Each structure stands twice: as C-alpha cells, then as structure tokens.
Structure 1
C-alpha cells in the first residue's frame, strides 16, 4: 500500500473553511465523488455513521475519517487542507486542519487496515504536517504526500 495508489492528484483540495464537522464531511464526499465516482450522499452517510462510533480526530490538528462503501474496487483517499481549522471532537480537543479520508470497499479487510496504518504513521510526522500547512497548493500537497513514500509498505 502506497500513497500513490491511495491518492489521485484530483482528490486533493484546499478549503478556506468548513462551518462544521458535518460540512467538512460533505466536502470530503463531494471530492470523492469527483475523483472516484462514489455517490456523495452515500459517502456522507457512511462517514457520519463511522464518526458516531467515535471521532476520528487523532490529535495535533489531524483527522482520519474513514468508511466502507459498496462499488469501490480499492481503498481510495481524499486529502483536504483547511485554511481555518474546524472543531472535530479530536482526542486532544484541538480543531482540525489536516484531513485524510479513506474509503474502502465493503470487503476490503486487511487492505483498509494497511491504508489506515500508512496514513496514520505518515501524518504523525510533525515536519510533514508543517510542510503541508505551509503549502496551500493542491499539486504541492499531493507531491509532499506521495514523493518519498511511493515504496513504503504498510
């Protein structure tokens, strides 16, 4: 599993602000629809259902929302950088501005877990997160996330 396989360049976006966590989930779903053809209403529903089990804000301004969806052939990612952080009920109670969402096929067992582990491990890197926050250009963000990580296996 690599970031290159998870994240298309067109699945990276900078958003000025999200008025709420739910609005952010809609932004994620709309981006996933554009990049991967998933149905946005189903994606929002799946993300919110997963959030109801426990928030996916992992701390330090990072959130990793994820959900399983029918119709996908592989695990897919969406990356959003928020210019203005949004409250996300994170473990450290800090608002979120770096968001990497994952969508997995319903039967994606271990691949979903590998992708989550890769993303979690990568976004724990404070230096990388600082670079992401300092470069509000989608192409640059994609490059930062994928370069040097193409051969990392989870």
Structure 2
C-alpha cells in the first residue's frame, strides 16, 4: 500500500524535524528540546534564573486557535452590514473572508498570537515543573510575529522565561 502524498509529506516533515533537532543538539550541548503534541520547545540557554527558548508550533494548532479566536470575535462583533443575525444572536452564512475583513485581520491575528504564546509557554512551564515568574519576554516585535504568522502554517517565536 502506497501512502498518500499528504501522508508522505507528514513522514518527510517528521524526519526532517527529527534530524534538525538531533543535529542541532550535537553542535550545541546547551540546547535541549521538549516535544509536545502540537509544538516543540527548544531550550537555547539556561542561565541564572533565565531560560531562553525557541518555540515551534505546528500548523494544525495555529489553525485551530485562529478559528476559535475568529469565531469568538465574530460572535462579539456588532451586526455586520448586509447580514442579519438569526435568533439567539447567531450569524450564519457569512463568507469567512468578508467577515475577517470587516472584523479586522490584524485584531484576530494579534489575539491568536497572544493565545498561542500563552498556551505554549504555560504548557512548557507546567510540564517541566518550573516556578516561573509572570515576566515573559518575547524577543521578536509584534510586527515581526504578525508578518510571520499564517493560520495553518508552522509558527516560530523566541521567548525568555524568568524563574523565581
């Protein structure tokens, strides 16, 4: 049985990511990786009370969080011109691209990026059992993150955690 193109792509992507993580670990002994279901956290350096990380989020997770944020913004939005609300406040049959344009893609992306960063870092801290402070520094600017973010595509960011 020959796997489909999508299946082969996933296998190739997995092998590529595995080799990338393995080879990068041999070059730099201070780097380690922690894998989760939909994202990977690579620890660059651990200094006194500070951990520098690189988080790589899978496209499936970016898509699902984007959809949740989009639906939340759509429900909370004022009635959209040209579209009636159904009973119960539901807005049906609105093309996604039109609704996104009216709501504002920048607002949805900003909220999605915040949710992704918060969720991934919280999961990492919880899994590792760190006693981290609330201070989290993302090394890229918001404009860089927004330009790099595309729902359904892989998303990466660098962050610094401060331990207590």
TM-score (norm 2): 0.29
